[in-house]
Amino acid sequence: GAMMKEALLHMLSENEGEFVSGQEISNKLNCSRTAIWKHISELRNSGYTIEAVQKRGYRLVTSPDLVTAEEVSLYTGNGTFGKKITYKSSVKSTQEIAHSLAREGAPEGSIVLADEQTGGRGRLGRAWQSPAGTGVWMSLILKPNIPLQKAPQLTLLIAVAASKAIEKVAGLEAEIKWPNDILIKGKKTAGILTELQAEADSIHSVIVGIGMNVNQQTEHFSDEIAQIATSLAIEGRQTYKRAEVIGVLLQEIETLYRQYLENGFGVIKLLWEARAFSLGKRITARSVTGSITGYAKGITEEGVLLLEDDRGQVHSIYSADIEI
Ligand code: BT5
């Protein structure tokens, strides 16, 4: 059922604006006219406008801004990331679902998507606001064969991919604030949460959570974050198809990830540095163990931030919040 609906949507969307005859669909999908009609009705109920004309067939006129498996699959391209999609309209956190899928052996590149999260989470138990119908709330399962201490490099890799995806989709410049914030004009548009399933010092799975504000207007943000958050729609003054954003994002991630596994972190480091917001600035790094103020010198091969304090001593920062 679901597979056929997806295949039908693909046929209609490949022939965008053109009629596809019932006969053609029925031949290609090997199904009855009644089955086609049932799926057309379901697609209409989910917000697709499909014209049906006697003797000519069906024509896709408009599609809604959904992040369902069938809609997202229109944009995932030839890569393997996003081939397996778990979609829920409302969940507590896509991370939870992805963690259990990974434990059950889900393949690398599997993703979990939700239209809304009721308990979306950031780092250190903080909350991530994920209102319905507005953003990309996605968890991606990776299974890299790398030592545990290199895992932070993945957060930086994802940040580069997210920044490139924003540039591609919206033509907006997106900077990276170490380690996991994507900023447009200094305001947070996306956040990354990298969680590990590991045994001893080998990684079983990495669950990468990406939250990206796409179509929010300022009133969608709570007072608490209204001053510090932004969205692609606010900055680009138009709305974007979330499914397309996801497709571009997955392709950017997969390209960088393959490059990373083959050639190491070097290229990613350069790309990251070119987009870094905090490098060369005076910053304060706050962590559970205290705070250090100084000059952000750069990142190491491992993805660790180097901070030179006022006495000239250089500190390696593994995890912290940065204030500029
Ligand atoms: C992050 O944490 O930035 C990581 C966010 C990861 C969210 C994704 S969504 C899919 C997946 N499923 C989940 O449950 N999580 C992941 P952190 O650096 O700790 O930043 C959290 C802080 O960002 C909050 O304390 C707020 O100040 C701010 N914030 C919360 N929601 C925001 C939003 N929608 N846009 C911008 N800033 C926000």
- Per-residue pLDDT band at 201 (split at 50, 70, 90): confident
Same domain, 160 and 56: no
Q: Which amino acid is at 180?
A: N
pLDDT at residue 316 above 90?
Answer: yes
Q: Is the CB of 117 under 6 A from ligand 1?
A: yes
Average pLDDT over residues 162-185: 97
Question: Which is the closest atom of ligand 1 to the Cα of 181?
Answer: 3
Instruction: Give the H/E segment covering residue 60.
Output: strand 57-62
Q: Which atom of ligand 1 is nearest to the CA of 117?
A: 14
Q: Across residues 96-102, what is the average pLDDT?
A: 98
Mean pLDDT of all residues in 308-319: 94
Domain harbouring 36, CATH code: 1.10.10.10
Q: Is the CB of 193 under 6 A from ligand 1?
A: yes
Give 140's pLDDT tier (boundaries 50, 70, 90): very high
Q: ipTM score here? A: 0.99
Using CA atoms, how far residue 195 sits from 86, 102, 119, 192, in Å, is 19, 12, 16, 10
Q: What is the CATH number of the domain that holds 302?
A: 2.30.30.100
Q: Residue 238, SS3?
A: coil
Residues 25-48 pLDDT 10s:
999 999 999 999 999 999 999 999
> Which token pair is 135?
């953003």
Q: Domain count of the chain?
A: 3
pLDDT above 90 as % of the chain:
92
Q: What is the mean pLDDT of residues 252-269?
A: 97
Strands of 160-317 (E only): list them: 175-177, 181-184, 187-199, 202-213, 282-287, 290-299, 305-309, 314-317
Nearest CA to ligand 1 atom 29: 128
Q: Does 92 belong to an annotated binding site?
A: no
Distances (CA, A) of 276 to 144, 189, 218: 25, 15, 25
Task: For helices 242-263 and 266-275, give the axis angle rounded to 10 degrees.
Answer: 140
Cis amide leading into 152 (omega within 30):
no
Reported confidence tier of residue 200, pLDDT bands at 50, 70, 90: confident
Record the tokens describing residue 237, joined without a space.
């003054």
Output the CA–CA distances (angstroms, integers) from residue 36 to 39, 44, 60, in the order listed: 5, 12, 14
Shared-domain flag, residues 232 and 302: no
Q: 20 alpha carbon to ligand 1 midpoint, in Å?
A: 43
Does residue 119 carry a pLDDT above 90?
A: yes
- Residue 78's domain comprises 69-275
Same domain for 108 and 185, yes or no, is: yes
181 and 56 in a common domain: no
Ligand 1 binding pocket includes 230 (Cβ within 6 Å): no
**Position 129 pLDDT exceeds 90:** yes
Same domain as 172, residue 78: yes
pLDDT at position 109? 98
Looking at the fold, whether 299 and 205 belong to one and the same domain comes out as: no
| For residue 17, pLDDT beyond 90 | no
Q: Is the CB of 128 under 6 A from ligand 1?
A: yes
Q: What are the Cα distances from residue 267, in Å, to 160, 262, 301?
A: 11, 11, 11
Closest among 292, 319, 289 to 305, alpha carbons compared: 319
* CA nearest ligand 1 atom 36, residue: 229
CATH number for the domain spanning 256: value is 3.30.930.10
Q: Helix 242-263 vs helix 152-170: angle between axes, to the nearest 10 degrees?
A: 140
> Is 123 annotated to bind ligand?
yes
pLDDT in the model for residue 290 = 92
